[in-house]
Amino acid sequence: MSEQPSPAGRQQLTPDAADGLRAYAARTRESADQLAAVLEDIAANGLPSVEDCTPWEELREAHLARLAAQRPAVA
């Protein structure tokens, strides 16, 4: 990447902040690609049968459990 002066009114990021932002962009792009693949599969093959799906309540509870495990309990 070449060193270019920043456009008027823009504040340069620190190298660590820029690296963090690029990492976030890569994760976001990966998530978008996964979603696009699922939507393309549904478009090509139709919706999966109800028996092959997980109820949203189970997905929600599993996600909440993961979030709770990441954060220490408050007394």
Instruction: Please give the model's pTM, rounded to 2 decimal places.
Output: 0.58
Distances (CA, A) of 41 to 5, 29, 30, 46, 60: 44, 18, 17, 7, 23
**Bigger pLDDT: 40 vs 71:** 40
Query: Do 38 and 44 touch, CB atoms closer than 8 A?
Result: no
Q: What is the pLDDT of residues 54-70, one digit of tens each?
A: 999 999 999 999 999 98
For residue range 9-57, list pLDDT tens digits in order: 899 999 999 999 999 999 999 999 999 999 999 999 999 999 999 999 9
